[in-house]
Amino acid sequence: IEQTEFSQAGSAAQTWINGEEAKLLGFEFEGGKTFDFLHPNLRRLSLQTNVTYFPISETNVPTAIVGGLETQQTNTKRGAADVPGFIVNAALEYTIPDTMTARLLYSTVGSTLIRAGALGLPDTFEKRYDVLDAVLTIPLQRWFDAPVSLQLSAENITNDQIRRVQGDLETY
């Protein structure tokens, strides 16, 4: 299912249509490791990561008739919408059981087609971006007789802006 546009009363209206054909091939790798192999005192420190890679992402979405009007996408054959070239996630975590868990999270997402171009305009892409978050979780169950915890977080610490590009036009 892909988002597309059609001309209605002189302006572009959006709709969703089914693609005729799509090819998607991806691989995902995941791993985790504690750091006690370096020193026994590092047994509470761990790293988890996963990587997803999409070497093939193609779709064929021919023009269609929606409500009696023809869709106007510029490219009928293109990369699949909302499928980035890659995704990398990593979490560095330090845990003291029943006391606290501190977690540093990193994520990066490759360039992604987010909207098919219409009426001769090029497709729109979100460019690669990175996100770094920090989370501190403190269990409060020892003070409350219930599974309650306090969580403090700082999100997008690097303040990496998500850039959208359509041809030569770039927005944030």
Quote the percentage of the chain above a pLDDT of 90. Answer: 53
Cβ-contact 129, 161 below 8 angstroms = yes
Both tokens of 154, joined, read 């700082």
Choose among 78, 159, 151: nearest CA to 118: 78
Report d(CA 157, CA 152) in Å as an integer: 13
Which residue would you say has higher pLDDT here, 83 or 70? 83
**What is the Cα 131 distance to its own chain's centre?**
10
Helix, strand, coil percentages, rounded to 5, for the chain: 0, 60, 40
* Virtual torsion, Cα 72, 75, 81, 87, nearest 10 deg: -150
Q: At 30, is the pLDDT very low, low, confident or very high (cuts 50, 70, 90)?
A: very high
**pLDDT beyond 90 at 28:** yes
Q: Which residues contact 169 (CB under 8 A, 6 or more apart)?
A: none
pLDDT of residue 132: 98
Report d(CA 76, CA 61) in Å as an integer: 5
Report d(CA 172, CA 163) in Å as an integer: 5
Q: At 48, is the pLDDT very low, low, confident or very high (cuts 50, 70, 90)?
A: very high
Both tokens of 142, joined, read 């020892």
- The least confident of 18-32, 43-57, 59-73, 79-93 is 59-73
